[in-house]
Amino acid sequence: MNDLQYKTYAVTNEIDLNKIAVECGIKKKYTWEEPLILHGPVLERILGENSGENEKIMVFSFGSIVFINSQMKHTEIFMKYLKKIKPDIDIEHFDRFQDDYALHFNEGDELDFTDKYVQVPGKELFYPELVSIIIAKSVALERIEEQLGKILDNIESKIDNLEKGRLHIGNKELAKTTSRIVRHEYNTIAYIMILDKPDVTWVNSEAAEFYFKMSEFFELNDRYEVIKSKTEILKSIVDGLADISMSMRGLFLEWIVIVLIVMEVVLMFLDLIK
């Protein structure tokens, strides 16, 4: 088996694999846990030309796409094809979140991880699959991390207003902010499935050890925990803002009631004078 070159993109939050499978004539029902693997004649029908040596495209339900031994021309053709199935993909900036990686087979040598490649001591079939899964999750996490940053920036502006004594947040705006946080949390936990291990790791101890070490190298669990922690903090902040906003509305209504009572007393006093 020759060395493999990986090019990975995180292009959206969710991809319906079964919809692509139907388009490609693949008679299989895909679950969240398994990627759609395109190669051979199926891939060549999409590309409209012959595929390269050992070329594959792996599509993950959580929005990542891994191109193995693909040239940029094929990447662009596939992205245009996917755009027809998933219209919300930004075809002009699909490469915003990406990573390049390589898998080198060197029998007898020790397992070695670097930022650009991993060197493995054998040619077991599980290596290409597990490398794809980990890189796909890593790039998807990068996309999620940026989305979280935008939510934090939005919350920070509200905290700045609160410090200045100005907090004018309507129920609609609070609901929108809360929904963004919930959606972000759902995308992270449900779609990327950081804590879930591939099936092969349950039946093959070597695969399990490799998956664990590579996950550690890419800090998948640590990054997930940071995102989870920040999300919990965000939810607490939004709850606090909602309580403050409700209290301010309640105080405003109390003042209106007081003003109305005073006005009524004044009017009664004026009537008595007359």
Is residue 211 within 8 A of residue 134, CB to CB? The reply is yes
- Domain residue ranges in the chain: 4-127, 131-273
| pTM exceeding 0.85 | no
What's the average model confidence in pLDDT over 2-10? 93
Residue-wise pLDDT tens digits, 95-122: 999 999 999 998 767 899 999 999 998 8
Mean pLDDT, residues 157-168? 62
Q: What is the DSSP string of 69-84?
A: S--HHHHHHHHHHHHH
Planar angle of CA 89, 94, 96, nearest 5 degrees = 130
Within a 10 A sphere around the Cβ of 56, how many other Cβ atoms? 20
